[in-house]
Amino acid sequence: ERSLLGIKELDASEISQLLGRTAYWDNQSEKLTPVLRAHFVANMFFENSTRTRFSFEMAEKRLGVQVLNFTAAASSVEKGESIYDTVRTLESMGIDAGVVRLKPAGVLQQLAGKVNIPLINAGDGNNEHPTQALLDLYTMRKHFGELKGLKVSIIGDIMHSRVARSNLWALTKMGASVQFCAPANMQAPELAAYAPYVSMEEALKADVVMMLRVQLERHASGIILSAEQYREQFGLTEERAAKLDAATIIMHPAPVNRNVEIDDAVVESSQSRIFPQMANGVPVRMAVMERALQ
Ligand code: CP
């Protein structure tokens, strides 16, 4: 299988293999290794993105891939064309793979069953964001040496988070343990069987403290806590960050709501790995692209 629809469908050895290839690409000093120059890939983003979109493009270009960038707002989607017809259209033109970001969960799986090219999930609703989890695991592995036995706290808007779900599946498969911390209206009760919900005080006692963005755009019923109340109760404030164990690392998939879920000064503190996470997104996506096309 050359598609990557989610971490749920990978086993530990496949994850290890992808992380191994990520390390290989991360250690290459040459920026351009055009081994995939005979391949055409469309990046199809039906939802906004900065990091995922551009790091896929960087990864593809570093491998010499011929890149087609599709943005829904500048396409016939605006005339009512469906996601399926859009992907089929690009497939008819001869693309060899598609990188797809979608708002609704579940659509990508259906789409993959109807096309003959590998599809790579660049984030689908609150379902999965597999390349984000891979870059998060790579960042942890690079820092700690191994993933087995790590304790990872994921704090914030779990309900709407595909990042939390993909990390949960990936970390538990690799022998790490996950715990969640979230206000009541941001919890995902169906995940409680896989990771306990703990207090903020408890969540800060971990090897990795992963903060999540409060996804204001996805809260149909409104936010119960104000930004200031959220920061006080669930934010990684400077005061809380100062109490973390010196060996703990701080992560966030970004974009960041500075001074809501994480204080401005903490984003760029010595324990933060937020910008290295973004850097690691490129070799991870090179590894995923290589798997899809070779
Ligand atoms: N972390 C992440 O997926 O960021 P973008 O939404 O900017 O791609």
- The per-residue pLDDT for range 242-252, each reduced to its tens digit, is 999 999 999 99
What homologous superfamily is domain 12-128+278-293 in, according to CATH? Aspartate/ornithine carbamoyltransferase (3.40.50.1370)
Q: For 131-144, what is each residue's pLDDT tens digit? A: 999 999 999 999 99
The runs of H, that is alpha helices, within the chain are 12-26, 51-62, 83-93, 107-114, 130-144, 162-173, 200-203, 227-234, 238-242, 264-267, 274-293
In the chain, which residues fall in CATH 3.40.50.1370?
12-128+278-293, 130-277
pLDDT at 220 over 70: no
Check whether 219 has a pLDDT greater than 80.
no
* Residue nearest to ligand 1 atom 1, measured at CA: 253
Annotated binding site for L-aspartate: 79, 162, 213
Which residues, in sequence order, are bridge partners of residue 98? 42, 119
Ligand 1 pocket residues where CB is under 6 Å: 49-53, 123, 132, 253-255
* Dist. CA 50 → ligand 1 center (Å): 6
Q: Which of ligand 1's atoms lies nearest the C-alpha of 101?
A: 8
3-state SS of the chain: helix, strand, coil percent to 5? 45, 15, 40
For the cut 70, the answer to whether the pLDDT of residue 227 exceeds it is yes
Residue identifier of the C-alpha nearest atom 5 of ligand 1: 49
Distance between Cα 254 and ligand 1 center (Å): 6
Distance from the CA of 51 to the center of ligand 1, in angstroms? 5
Q: How many residues does the chain have?
A: 294
Domain 130-277, second-level architecture: 3-Layer(aba) Sandwich (3.40)
pLDDT of 216 strictly over 80: no
The closest-lying atom of ligand 1 relative to the alpha carbon of residue 129 is: 3
Q: What is the CA radius of gyration of the chain?
A: 19
- Are the C-beta atoms of 104 and 124 separated by less than 8 Å? yes
- Ligand 1 mean position, distance from CA 55 (Å): 10
Q: Give the pLDDT of residue 141.
A: 98
The structure's pTM equals 0.96
